[in-house]
Structure 1
Amino acid sequence: MNNKWLSGLRIRKFTMLSLTLAMLISLLAACSGGSNESAEKRVLRIGVLYGGSDNEPYFRQQYTDMYEMMHPNIEFEIVGALNYDDQRFEQTDPSKPTTQPDPYEKMKEMLNGQNPVDVVVLDYNMLRRMTQDNLLQQLDPKVTQDKFDLSDYVPTVIEGIKAAGDGNLYALTPTFSSSALYYNKKLFADAGVAPPTDKMPWSEVLNLARQVAKGEGEDRKFGFTFSRWQSDGFNDTQVYSQALQLKMWDEKGEKMLVNSDQWEEVWKTVSSLYKEEVVPTQEFFNKMYEKQSQSEPGVNDPFYGDLFIKGKVAMTIGDYGYINELKRAQDNAAKMKDFEPVDWDVVTVPTHPNDPEVGGNIYLSQLMGINAKAQNDKDAWEFIKFTNGKEWAKLKSRSVYEMVARKEFLKPIGGLQYNMDAFTSLKPLPPTSTDADKLFREKPGIWEAQQPGYELFQEVLNGKKTPREALTEWETRGNAVLERLKTNPNGGEGEGVGGKPMPLD
């Protein structure tokens, strides 16, 4: 091949690459204000809960790399309150009780130390406590001064943030996650029942579930599940009680709170769903798995255990990312024997009458605030404006797992048509001012006080006890555990079955 031709090809490629880079640099300079920005090198320190060799590169890729390219005079330092690598590789003495660090206290140290961070990234549960402890700068004056447009922010996000700051803004987040009530249009049409609507109370949703539940044996069509995966009745009571913000024990972990009229109503409601087979029972799952194990070799079930996608459940609560699985099922339906894709839509998760504007499945996990003691609060605000601006939202709107906070760029996934407002119109549960995780750190054995609930709920299902009788016994047995924990916080004499639970808050 002619060497001159190769040389010319290389020159043309280099020229095109140079032109492309020049155009990119010009675009970035235009976005960042070009020569108007000071050339002075400045450091912007960002505090996150977990640092480490894996977490920092991910955070930079997600949030700071592009800003750093557009602002070459800004250098980011990512500071972790807790180092994940330390916790992962630390060798502990099994003969000694382990002490878990307090995440909130570690975050406070990062904000109040000799070299405090400028921006702090936190989750919703910490926001209320930080505002009450005067650790964050109020953002409302900055929003007003810069005329930063928040008019198209999703109500779920902006109202939820304000609720944690007594009506004021102390943080902003570019993304959030949410859940909705998915429903099967065909099952409702076949039953001649009107489908659910937005902000429908729990009582009405469960009444609909009873109306559409039909059939016998393996042909049974169920009305509802609390999640798309197999669960048990006791865990369902935990999901149902969250929106009511019911507690199992008091803030000090010294007294059980389950023997109450509200808890009795929760147990009555959930147990009746199982007894009436409105939700799938353990017996149904056992028979289904037994039949699947006997299926012909080589037959793959890509939706193992997901009854909604199989068309056997009329309604289920699922997160935004579930849409991807439903779309994959639709796109690949022809490849699967006897599979019919679900014709579905969504409405808001069920609400409780005491506050029909609030839902329990909304998460604001990447909130960004400015440290009250920030040494570089000007650049901190510019960075927060950038990550919460329209250009950033447009870029992030391509994600199929998280939602952007600006409504203008919220579009249905893959060209599908569904009720997007179902994910955006309810406010998150108001945050508490207490640290629910603190009890689990100070009293690792406190989960043992929950254990009798599994066994006792099963006795309710079997008709051996009424809900109130079971809750009364749970109170007694739970109080015995809590009393023992006063002298032995690690527990070790627990009873019952089931895994160690995570804090419900």
Structure 2
Amino acid sequence: MELKVKPKGKSVIRRASALVLSLALVSTVLAACSKGDSGSDAERHVLRIGFMYSNSDNEPYLRQQFTDSYELTHPNVDIEIAAAINYDDQRFQEPDPNNKQPDPYEKLKEMLVGSNPVDVVVLESAYLKRLVQDNMLKQLDPLIQESKFDIEDFVPAVINGIKDAGDNNIYALTPTFSASALYFNKKIFTDAGVTPPTDNMQWPDIMALAERVAKGEGKTRTFGFSFNRWSGDGFSDAQNYAAPLQLMMFDKKGEKMTVDTPQWNKVWTDVVNLYKKKIVPSQSDMNFDNGMATSSSKPVFNPFQGDLFLSGRVAMTIGGYDYVNELAKAKDYSATNKDIKAIDWDVVTVPTFAEAPGVGGSIYLSNLMAINAKAQNSEDAWEFIQFNNSKEWAKLKSRSTYEMVARKSFLKPKDGMSYNIGAFYALKPVPPQDIELDKLYRDKQGLYQVNQLGQPLFQEVVDGKKSVDAALKEWQTKGDSFLQKLKTDPNAMLDPAAGGGGGGKVIYNSGG
């Protein structure tokens, strides 16, 4: 069961799964939770659960995913759902570009301190640190000790990520998390006579391996690596590659660019070389086959179009845990279609930097459960968090192939498969974005456009039209000019004619 705020294409399957798990809890978690109906008191309790986003259509899904099972096993508790931002409020409003969009964090705070505050808030990691610093949440460490609630079984990377947001204290727990690892094609390495990657390798070693196994031309070329399944944008690849180094594009005031540096130069040089040497596929490489795979001389439909790892043409790629499910489906499909070859694969940890040893885990905590510091029913709130983070729940949630459970004793390969599951959670997660930077992006909504200046310049380097030095200096100069414009007009917009290359003057439009 995947605990997502907004269900997408797989919602029908997940809803059915949630119902089955809810019924299963009658005989499992009910027996495990001795408090049952939140104590011997027969008086009914109201427990308010807050989410960042929802509406009337989405509330039944949230209940199935988060609260139905708790109500089933705690019959004296009535759950009320609240949302910081209700999509129904905007649904029938005529779009007006002059209307400022609500600040999600300010709306979140309103839900916590209003006249009828929520007791529990389910949030993403991006907001946890800010709420802790603003003293909006109740520290859980004393409750954990008093209840003797076992957190030793939690994945260290998850607990450490939570503690990093709470000044080494625990202010939330999560039953699940998302994570990534480096997938590799065993056959490509065997055929090349090259030893495959192992855990805890650093980026230079992985890039060297990728170059050794890359070979061929055109539609038959085997690429050594891709930064993700749908790679092809080198600028975005460079940004993701640099994430563990926590490099800044501009200063904390948003007034001066900081990209003309040796650190950024090294990042761009590394990624540009991968593209120039065709070690990683470009977007045109991914679209080359136009949905057709070739077996002998007969073209056949390729259901893996664009996914070159599944097509057997990329030796290594970084992918999320949910990719395991796609690879399993592909193997099943290959059994009925002789033209499609199954991939013999495994995973190792994402490569790391010497400057940030042991850091590189793409761990994402999206279902953090915390108690409002102003909760009117903090006792039931803590019971709710214990229930959703119990070993009994973890056992049931471990059936998911979309997210991983936070309790490591229930983390096992799926459906009899064999792969290095520890690779997904062995590394420390990349630290969350600085709180002041979040505020800066809200105050200066045009800041995101700094990327638009850098992206075409990166491509010009790949195309051999500029050096890395020249491109970064130009990005620095144009970015400085734009940041100064934002000081007087926080909503200034880049004119499409400005582009990023050519050394031309950057043109602005008023943000209105």
Same fold, judged at TM 0.5 (above): yes
Cross-structure match for 1:60: 63
Distance 1:43 1:462, change over 3 A: same
Answer yes or no: is 1:76 the counterpart of 2:91. no
Question: How do 1:231-380 and structure 2 match up within 5 A?
Answer: 231-285=232-286, 287-289=288-290, 299-380=300-381
Cross-structure match for 1:464: 465
Cα distance, 1:257 vs structure 2: 1.5
Q: Deviations over 1:30-89 (max 9, x none)?
A: 744458522111111112111311332211111111111111111111111111222343
Cα distance, 1:253 vs structure 2: 2.2
Distance 1:258 1:347, change over 3 A: same
Cα distance, 1:401 vs structure 2: 0.4
Preserved contact between residue 210 and residue 278 of structure 1 (Cα < 8 Å): yes
Cross-structure match for 2:225: 224
35, 48, 51: which is aligned to 2:51?
48
| Distance (whole Å) between structure 1 residues aligned to residue 449 and residue 28 of structure 2 | 62
Cα distance, 1:388 vs structure 2: 0.4
Cross-structure match for 1:37: 40
Cross-structure match for 1:167: 168
| Distance (whole Å) between structure 2 residues aligned to residue 30 and residue 460 of structure 1 | 61
Structure having the higher helix fraction is 1
Higher mean Cα deviation, 305-314 or 481-490?
481-490
Preserved contact between residue 140 and residue 169 of structure 1 (Cα < 8 Å): yes
| Distance (whole Å) between structure 2 residues aligned to residue 459 and residue 68 of structure 1 | 58
Gaps of 5+ in 1: 1-20, 499-505
Preserved contact between residue 28 and residue 392 of structure 2 (Cα < 8 Å): no
Preserved contact between residue 223 and residue 278 of structure 2 (Cα < 8 Å): yes
One-letter code aligned to 2:324: I
Question: How do 1:145-224 and structure 2 match up within 5 A?
Answer: 145-224=146-225
| Distance (whole Å) between structure 2 residues aligned to residue 91 and residue 205 of structure 1 | 51
Cα distance, 1:205 vs structure 2: 1.0
Answer yes or no: is 1:89 the counterpart of 2:87. no
Distance 1:25 1:266, change over 3 A: closer
Cα distance, 1:177 vs structure 2: 0.4
Question: How do 1:125-164 and structure 2 match up within 5 A?
Answer: 125-164=126-165
Preserved contact between residue 348 and residue 423 of structure 2 (Cα < 8 Å): yes
Distance 1:28 1:388, change over 3 A: closer
| Distance (whole Å) between structure 1 residues aligned to residue 266 and residue 448 of structure 2 | 23
Distance 1:258 1:98, change over 3 A: farther
Secondary structure of the equivalent of 2:325?
Answer: helix
One-letter code aligned to 2:454: G
Cross-structure match for 1:501: none
One-letter code aligned to 2:178: S
Cross-structure match for 1:102: 103
Preserved contact between residue 29 and residue 70 of structure 1 (Cα < 8 Å): no
| Distance (whole Å) between structure 1 residues aligned to residue 27 and residue 172 of structure 2 | 31
Preserved contact between residue 100 and residue 441 of structure 1 (Cα < 8 Å): no
Cα distance, 1:397 vs structure 2: 1.1
| Distance (whole Å) between structure 2 residues aligned to residue 253 and residue 424 of structure 1 | 34
Distance 1:178 1:56, change over 3 A: same
Question: How do 1:7-22 and structure 2 match up within 5 A?
Answer: none
Cα distance, 1:287 vs structure 2: 3.9
Cα distance, 1:316 vs structure 2: 0.2
Preserved contact between residue 257 and residue 475 of structure 1 (Cα < 8 Å): yes
| Distance (whole Å) between structure 2 residues aligned to residue 439 and residue 133 of structure 1 | 17
Preserved contact between residue 404 and residue 411 of structure 2 (Cα < 8 Å): yes
Secondary structure of the equivalent of 1:76?
Answer: strand
| Distance (whole Å) between structure 2 residues aligned to residue 300 and residue 44 of structure 1 | 53
Cα distance, 1:313 vs structure 2: 0.6
Preserved contact between residue 242 and residue 360 of structure 1 (Cα < 8 Å): no
Cα distance, 1:306 vs structure 2: 0.6
One-letter code aligned to 1:391: E
Distance 1:298 1:427, change over 3 A: same
| Distance (whole Å) between structure 1 residues aligned to residue 354 and residue 64 of structure 2 | 43
Q: Deviations over 1:406-447 (max 9, x none)?
A: 111112122110001011111212224415444444333323
| Distance (whole Å) between structure 2 residues aligned to residue 148 and residue 30 of structure 1 | 13
TM-score (norm 2): 0.87
Distance 1:321 1:285, change over 3 A: closer
Q: Deviations over 1:132-170 (max 9, x none)?
A: 221111111111111111111111211111121122111
Preserved contact between residue 26 and residue 73 of structure 2 (Cα < 8 Å): no
Preserved contact between residue 449 and residue 479 of structure 1 (Cα < 8 Å): no
| Distance (whole Å) between structure 1 residues aligned to residue 160 and residue 291 of structure 2 | 48
Preserved contact between residue 199 and residue 356 of structure 1 (Cα < 8 Å): no
Preserved contact between residue 176 and residue 406 of structure 2 (Cα < 8 Å): yes
| Distance (whole Å) between structure 1 residues aligned to residue 292 and residue 421 of structure 2 | 37
| Distance (whole Å) between structure 2 residues aligned to residue 319 and residue 224 of structure 1 | 15
Preserved contact between residue 118 and residue 375 of structure 1 (Cα < 8 Å): yes
Q: Deviations over 1:299-328 (max 9, x none)?
A: 432101111011111100000011111111
| Distance (whole Å) between structure 2 residues aligned to residue 107 and residue 133 of structure 1 | 12
Secondary structure of the equivalent of 1:166?
Answer: coil
Cross-structure match for 1:409: 410
**RMSD of the TM alignment (CA)?**
2.5
Q: Deviations over 1:384-421 (max 9, x none)?
A: 11100011111111111011111111121221100010
Cross-structure match for 1:442: 443
Distance 1:351 1:310, change over 3 A: same
| Distance (whole Å) between structure 1 residues aligned to residue 29 and residue 148 of structure 2 | 24
Cross-structure match for 1:9: none
Cross-structure match for 1:8: none
Distance 1:429 1:346, change over 3 A: same
Preserved contact between residue 32 and residue 70 of structure 1 (Cα < 8 Å): no
Preserved contact between residue 181 and residue 318 of structure 1 (Cα < 8 Å): yes
Distance 1:132 1:359, change over 3 A: same
| Distance (whole Å) between structure 2 residues aligned to residue 26 and residue 239 of structure 1 | 42
Secondary structure of the equivalent of 1:332?
Answer: helix
Gaps of 5+ in 2: 1-22, 502-512
Distance 1:26 1:360, change over 3 A: closer
| Distance (whole Å) between structure 2 residues aligned to residue 169 and residue 275 of structure 1 | 46
Distance 1:303 1:118, change over 3 A: same
Preserved contact between residue 292 and residue 300 of structure 2 (Cα < 8 Å): no
Cα distance, 1:297 vs structure 2: 11
